[in-house]
Amino acid sequence: MATGTHTWSCPTCGRRVPRRMGTCHCGTTRERAEAVAAGGAEASRAPRPASRARRPSRGRSAPLPRDVKAILAGMALVAVAAVGWLAVGPRPEPVAPVLGFVDPGPPPAPTPAPPPTPAFKLPWWK
């Protein structure tokens, strides 16, 4: 076991562990590491501690707290409202004319004028 001034080396995983820690992350104790470093054959044949029991299970997580659920529900409600507003929202206003140009459309069809009636009946002799 090569030791620094503030660390000890784990023979199982090779990590450098601070001296204030009695156990490595892999579960090897400092005493076992010193025994392995001293050449103790029995220490090297000793069974490894079960490191799986210390790891949290990854398949199942803890339930969410109430405040996180409320925030997620609020975000979902805002998202649904935004999608609804985009789908059924207000109609777009017509575009304002540029530089005062307004297209009036085609001119109205002229109405035919009735034929003029004379002031007196012609021929007057009939």
What is the DSSP track for 77-125?
Answer: HHHHHHHHHHHH-PPPPPPPPGGG-----SPPPPPPPPPPPPSS-SSTT
What is the Cα Rg of the chain in Å?
47
Q: State if pTM tops 0.75.
A: no
Residue 51's pLDDT is 52
Domain residue spans of the chain: 1-56
Residue 75's pLDDT is 98
Q: Name 31's bridge partners.
A: none
Mean pLDDT in consecutive groups of 10 residues from the start of the chain, 126 residues: 72 88 89 82 51 57 91 98 90 76 83 82 70
Residue 126's pLDDT is 64
